[in-house]
Amino acid sequence: MILNTGRTIPQGNSVEFKPSPEYGAETSRAFLAPLDLMDMGIEAGDRVRIRCGSRSAVLTASASDDVLPGSLFVPYGPHANHVVPAATHGTGMPDFKGIAVEVEPTSDPVRSVWDLMEDLGGKRYDR
Amino acid sequence: MIVRDVICPFCACLCDDLDVHVEEGRVTGVDNACDLGSHKFMTDHRMEGPVRRTASGWQDIPLEEAIRETAELLQAAERPLLYGWSGTCGEAQSAGVHLAERVGGIIDATTSVCHGPSILAIQEVGHPGCTLGQVKNRADVVVYWGCNPQHAHPRHLSRYTTYTDGFFVKNAFKERRLILADIRGTDSTNVADEVVRLQPGGDYAVLGALRAIVRGKGDVVPPEVAGVSREQLFRIADLCKKARYGAFFFGMGLTQTAGKYKNIRNAIELVDELNRHTKWTLTPMRGHFNVYGFNEVCTWMTGYPYAVDFSRGMAFYNPGETTAVDILARKECDMCLVVASDPAAHFPAEAVEHLASIPVVQLDPFPNLTTAFARIQIPVAVSGIDAEGTAYRMDGVPLRLRKVLDRGYPDDVTILSEIARRIGEGGGA
């Protein structure tokens, strides 16, 4: 499937305080066409794993008639960026849109933004 | 107390008509702002003072010590990256460029992951730009391509296009035609007169087809181009040619998809074609409130708008090589100073990983995801709320941000100047 990322109002509202549950919840949503959810045998609220190369992330599926079948939209943030490749093709800009990914149902939990940062070698700020 | 006519420091619309209610050093309410702007003024999760990451956890440290250690880290680094800059004022950006030159580092802004490709295209074929006032008062056809202003710039339509009347557009809602091009339905496509639903990655082909039609070579256009019918393409081209004044806005849908700057070059050349028939202009929908400002400041100081490498003792610019994501993914920098941005949230994981293996210092009012990689974070005042300064609107108009309250935090300029002073005392880099 084709992954596109972009801004949304809830993402923007919580962008100044990313440790908040609202930011983590919004940036871990995957908007999929209802037909694609049906093909995968899942419903809105179930979880999917998106994979690109060796990297993957777990997201919560949402049904959206606005998304073309065969593609998914994920609000811009650390969950999507966990799978976005870093190659910029000589432009400085990675492909944040139009990324070929595999999508499959999963029962694994959605990881918190601090979990994702610790996966990459960071340390959560828990004060 | 109500502070009137405040400029909003969220997006590059820089709405200048906010009324901010302040009581006992806190913002208690905001009138006229959009949801995004209101949240920025009302967010109250600031870091209290400078912190250092240690093996056992986070430790409070004095400001003096945080500044000294930052100066030492910058001075000791062979290839420091100074990144961010879009969420602060022009005066801090200027101090940042001076600091980068002094330490022989690389300075890059969030431009490289938003409208960097737009700048590359503009460097190739020019920028047929205008101020937003021109759009408001004259435009009768408005295109938004690859963007969702209702979510990213929520007041753009009500201040400059569909929902505001202009001097020559007396009844905007009826007289202005709105064309939205996107690969998905959004709250913006919902209010458009004409929606172009193209296939992902089809922008270059659709823009090319429109150019051909406007140039009178419509016979080469096939029945469908990237999901868009030939009939609709002709209809749009006709609408654009008949405009008295057309305004073309575009966003990440063009800059972040395959083709990158070539998509924007095609859009600029479409506008060029249209100018053979009537008047058209083009404006990138810049995101952060002062990301345009960094490009202005960096250009007048170095000759280049972003991604400037001073390691040769002169300004060297080569996006794709000297841009932050590339520098990090190649694991090239050995220190990173992050100012007013959050690369850990917004960069691909492969680039973020390198932050874990080098010293990182962050200047930011809030704990964010880059905090997880910071050896030191110094909380600063928020530009436009408790610090004043200059910011550039998305059309390149500089506006003066106001200080509406005092929370006692130092501003970015103060901290950066103090770091530079300490490096100067130490003999420079």
Pairwise CB contact (< 8 Å): A71 & B200: yes
For helices B90-103 and B63-76, give the axis angle rounded to 10 degrees.
Answer: 50
Burial tier of B234 (Cβ tally within 10 Å: 0-12, 13-18, 19+): middle
Give residue A13's pLDDT: 84
Please give the Cα distance from B296 to B392 (Å, whole number): 8
Amino acid letter, B192: A
Torsion angle, CA of B156/B159/B162/B166, rounded to 10 degrees? -140
Interchain contact, A91 vs B117, CB within 8 Å: yes
Q: How confident is the model at residue A12 (pLDDT cuts 50, 70, 90)?
A: confident
Domain B47-114+289-425 has CATH 3.30.420.40: no
User: pLDDT for B350-395, tens place per residue?
Assistant: 999 999 999 999 999 999 999 999 999 999 999 999 999 999 999 9
With a cut of 60, say whether residue A95 has pLDDT above it: yes
**B173 phi and psi angles, rounded to 5 deg:** -60, -35
Q: Mark yes or no for CB contact A66/B184 under 8 Å.
A: yes
Question: What are the chain A neighbours of B348 within 8 Å (beta carbons)?
Answer: 81, 84-86, 94
Residue B231: exposed, middle, or buried by beta-carbon count in 10 A (0-12, 13-18, 19+)?
A: exposed
Residue A120's pLDDT is what?
97
The neighbour count for residue B383, using CB atoms within 10 Å, is 27
**Chain A CA closest to residue B328:** A86
On average, the pLDDT of chain B sits at: 96
Q: Look at A13 and B371 and tell me if their CB atoms are within 8 Å.
A: no
Q: Is residue B365 a contact partner of residue B59, using CB atoms and an 8 Å limit?
A: no
B371: distance to nearest CA of chain A, Å?
Answer: 7
Cα–Cα dist B291/B31, whole Å: 25
Could you read off the pLDDT of B276-299 as tens digits, one per residue?
A: 999 999 999 999 999 999 999 999
DSSP character string of chain A: -EEEEE--HHHHHTTT-TTSHHHHHHHTEEEE-HHHHHHHT--TT-EEEEEETTEEEEEEEEE-TTSPTTEEEEESSHHHHTTS----TTTT----EEEE-EEEEE-SPPPPHHHHHHHTT------
- Asked if B320's CB is within 8 angstroms of A120's CB, the reply is no
Distance CA B122, CA B262 (A): 10
Residue partners of B103: CB distance under 8 A and separation at least 6: B74, B75, B77, B80, B310, B423, B429
Bridge partners of B52, per DSSP, are: B59, B376
Q: Which residues of B touch A2 (CB under 8 A)?
A: 200
CA pair distance B317, B310, nearest whole angstrom? 9
Q: Which of B151, B199, B319 sits opposite A92 (nearest CB)?
A: B319
Give the residue from B109, B102, B52 showing the smallest Cα distance to B77.
Answer: B102
Chain A residues with beta carbon closer than 8 angstroms to that of B260: 89, 91, 93
Contact B257 A85 (CB under 8 A): no
| Whole-angstrom distance, CA of residue A93 vs CA of residue A110 | 27
Chain B positions in Cβ-Cβ contact with residue A93 (cut-off 8 Å) = 112-113, 116-117, 255-256, 260, 323, 325
Encode pLDDT of A16-29 as tens digits: 888 889 999 999 99
Is the pLDDT at B274 greater than 50? The verdict is yes
- Whether A125 maps to a domain, the answer reads no
Kindly report the nearest CA distance between residue A34 and chain B, in angstroms.
14
Q: Domain residues for A102?
A: 2-119
Cα separation, B221 vs B205, whole angstroms: 10
Residues of B in contact with A16 (CB under 8 A): 39-40, 43, 45, 366
Percent of chain B whose predicted confidence (pLDDT) is above 70? 99
Domain assignment present for residue A124? The answer is no
pLDDT in the model for residue B429: 43
A15, A73 Cβ separation under 8 angstroms:
no
A6 vs B148: CB contact, 8 Å cut-off? yes
Residue of B nearest to A65 (CA): B185
Q: Inter-axis angle of helices B230-241 and B203-214, to 10 degrees?
A: 60
β-pair type (A102-106, B2-6) = unpaired
Which of A16, A91, A122 minimises the CB distance to B120? A91
Residue A55: partners with Cβ closer than 8 Å, 6 or more residues away: A82, A83, B349, B350
Does A8 sit within 8 Å of B350, measured CB to CB?
Answer: no
Q: How many CA atoms lie within 13 A of B333 on its CB side?
A: 36
pTM here is 0.96
Amino acid at B351: A
Q: Alpha-carbon torsion B58, B62, B66, B69, what sign?
A: negative
Alpha helices, DSSP H, located in B275-339? 291-302, 324-329
Q: Enumerate residues 6+ apart whose C-beta is below 8 A from A21.
A: none
Residue in the block written with tokens 């938004």: B144
Judging contacts by C-beta atoms under 8 Å, the chain B residues touching residue A68 are: 183-184, 197, 199-200
Per-residue model confidence (pLDDT) at position B364: 97
Are the Cβ atoms of A71 and B45 closer than 8 angstroms?
no
Structure tokens at B253: 């849908």
Band (A127; pLDDT cuts 50, 70, 90): confident
Q: Is the pLDDT of residue B428 over 70?
A: no
Question: Partners of B308 in the beta sheet?
Answer: B107, B317
Q: How many domains does chain A have?
A: 1
Residue A84 contacts residue A53 (beta carbons within 8 Å): no
Contact (CB<8Å) B200/A97: yes
ipTM of the complex: 0.97
CB neighbours of residue B417 within 10 Å: 16
Q: Looking at the domain assignment, is residue A88 inside a domain?
A: yes
Give residue B43's pLDDT. 87
Is beta strand B360-363 parallel, antiparallel or unpaired with respect to B80-84? unpaired
State residue B427's pLDDT score. 52
Residue A63, beta-bridge partner list: A32
Query: CATH number, domain at A23?
Result: 2.40.40.20
Q: How far apart are CA B302 and CA B105, in angstroms?
A: 13
Closest CA to B425 of B102, B78, B79, B95: B102
Amino acid letter for position B267: A
**What fold, for B116-284?**
Dimethylsulfoxide Reductase; domain 2 (3.40.228)
Q: Name the one residue in this structure whose structure tokens are 């619309």.
A: B13
Set of chain A residues whose Cβ sits within 8 Å of the Cβ of B108: 92
DSSP state of B305: S
Give residue-wise pLDDT tens across range B174-218: 899 999 999 999 999 999 999 999 999 999 999 999 999 999 999
Please give the Cα distance from B234 to B249 (Å, whole number): 20
**3-state DSSP call for residue A85?**
coil
pLDDT tens figures, B299-323: 999 999 999 999 999 999 999 999 9
Q: Please, which pLDDT band fits residue A56 given cuts at 50, 70 and 90? A: very high
pLDDT band at B426 (very low <50, low <70, confident <90, very high): low
- Answer yes or no: do A125 and B371 touch at CB < 8 A: yes
Answer yes or no: is pLDDT of A15 > 90. no
Residue B216: CB atoms within 10 Å: 8
Lookup result for tokens 């005092």: B406
What is the chain A residue with the closest CA to B117?
A: A91
Residue B43, C-beta contacts closer than 8 angstroms, at least 6 positions apart: A16, A17, B366
- Helices assigned H by DSSP within B104-246: 116-125, 132-138, 149-152, 156-160, 172-175, 203-214, 230-241
CA neighbours within 13 Å on the CB side: how many for B100? 33
Q: Around Cβ B54, how many Cβ atoms within 10 Å?
A: 11
CB–CB contact B366 A16 (8 Å): yes
What tokens does B50 get? Answer: 């400078």
Q: How far apart are CA B364 and CA B380, in angstroms?
A: 6
